[in-house]
Amino acid sequence: MFRTMLGGKIHRATVTEADLNYVGSITVDQDLLDAAGICVNEKVQIVNNNNGARLETYTIPGERGSGVICLNGAAARLVQKGDIVIIMSYILMSNEEAKNHEPKVVLVNEQNKIRGIIHYEPPHTVL
């Protein structure tokens, strides 16, 4: 049996763009993808903290160090520039692997620069 576990997460990123006319996906600064262990073209879930919208799409690489977080295509209807989002990837693993699994949680500042990486989420704590 396999379990679906959180693999990587970019926590409270600020949306820098929303491009309705692009084909689709989310453009993310490659540095952030690397830090979270999220691959280019990987399926991700996006949660919009401003309006509660949840959506799934795939990642495309943005320029390293740019801080870009751009929702493209139809997703641009659910997210606006300046919104705060959480970007999560999930991985499948065996029960045995899941016992010791620690996701990568990337904490960013207001410019989407990495301010820390943790491998757990403290209960009842605002990060």
**Residue 58 among the catalytic residues:** yes
Catalytic pick from 22, 25, 90, 120? 25
Residue listed under structure tokens 């990568």: 104
Which segments are annotated as binding site?
Answer: 57, 73-75
Tokens of 108: 């960013």
Catalytic pick from 58, 66, 89, 94? 58
Which segments are annotated as binding site for substrate?
Answer: 57, 73-75
**Residue 25 among the catalytic residues:** yes
Which residues have a catalytic role annotated? 25, 58
